[in-house]
Amino acid sequence: MDKERLRTVLGPGADRYLRKFAKIEHVHGWVPGWNTAAFLHSTAWLWYRRMYGWSLLNLCAPLLLLLFLVFVVQWFVSERYLNAISVVVAALYGLFVFGAVPAYADSFYYRFLKRRHWRGKPPSRWTLAGAILLVALPIAIAYSLA
C-alpha cells in the first residue's frame, strides 16, 4: 500500500483511516471498530467515500424491504404470523443498519479501495454536496408531507 497515494485518495481524515487500515491489514480479516459517520447517515457516508452503488442500494433498502414484506411474505405466511415476522425483520434490519454497518464500515471501505488498487481522487466538493443532499432530501420530503 502506497501511503502517500492512499492519503490523497482518502482526503480529510486520512490519518484516522490509515491507522484503521493498518489494523485491518495486520489481521487480514474484518476488524470491528466504529465509524460515527456511517452510523449517523450511512447513505451519505458511502456517497462521500465514492461508493455510489452501495450508497444507492442503502438508500433504496428500506423500500425494497417493505416491498418484500408486503408482496412476498404475505403470500407465503398466514396473516396470523405476518405482524410478528414484520417486527422481527424490521428489528434485524435496524440491527444491521445501525450496528453492523458502522461497526465494519472501515473494513468495508478498506476492501473497496484495495479492489480499486488504491486508485481514485479525494472526495470533492461535488461529492460532499451530493452527500449533504442525501441527508437533507429525506428531511425536506418529510417536512413537506407534514
Report pTM: 0.76
**Mean residue pLDDT across the chain:** 85
Compute the radius of gyration of the chain from its Cα atoms. Answer: 18
**Residue closest to 48 by CA, chosen among 119, 130, 107:** 130
Which SS3 state, helix, strand or coil, does residue 121 take?
coil
The x, y and z cell numbers of residue 143, run together, are 417536512
Task: Of 9-23, 33-47, 72-86, give the lowest mean pLDDT range.
Answer: 72-86
Residue that is written with C-alpha cell 452510523 in the block: 39
> What are the pLDDT digits (tens) for 61-92?
888 888 887 777 777 777 777 778 888 888 99
CA nearest neighbour of 17 among 41, 28, 33:
33
- End-to-end C-alpha distance for the chain, whole angstroms: 50
